[in-house]
Amino acid sequence: MGADLRDTDLRGADLEYSIFLTQQQVNSAKGNASTKLPRELVIPSYWDVHYRFLCTNYLLYSSFINNCL
């Protein structure tokens, strides 16, 4: 049995290299597009998807602009 993450605010947390983190734990927590998860886990659909889209576009745009300078 792992940690109880029910309603834990994971917004902005970097969990990319976490071990033994389960999809069930992620599903019970709150997060957003800036929450980094291990590759084998997926962001739940009820997390802030619109924000995820905006962040992705911003990062792509910023990268493009930085490469042009």
Least reliable range by pLDDT among 26-30, 46-50, 57-61: 57-61
Higher pLDDT, 44 or 57: 44
Per the confidence metrics, is the pTM higher than 0.75?
Answer: no
Decide: residue 35, CB within 10 A, 0-12 exposed, 13-18 middle, 19+ buried.
Answer: buried
Q: 35 is in which domain, residue-wise? A: 1-69
At residue 52 the predicted structure's pLDDT band, cuts being 50, 70 and 90, is: low
Tell me the average pLDDT across 22-41.
Answer: 94
At residue 2 the predicted structure's pLDDT band, cuts being 50, 70 and 90, is: confident
CA distance 37 to 14: 7
> How many distinct structural domains can be found in the chain?
1
What's residue 46's pLDDT?
87
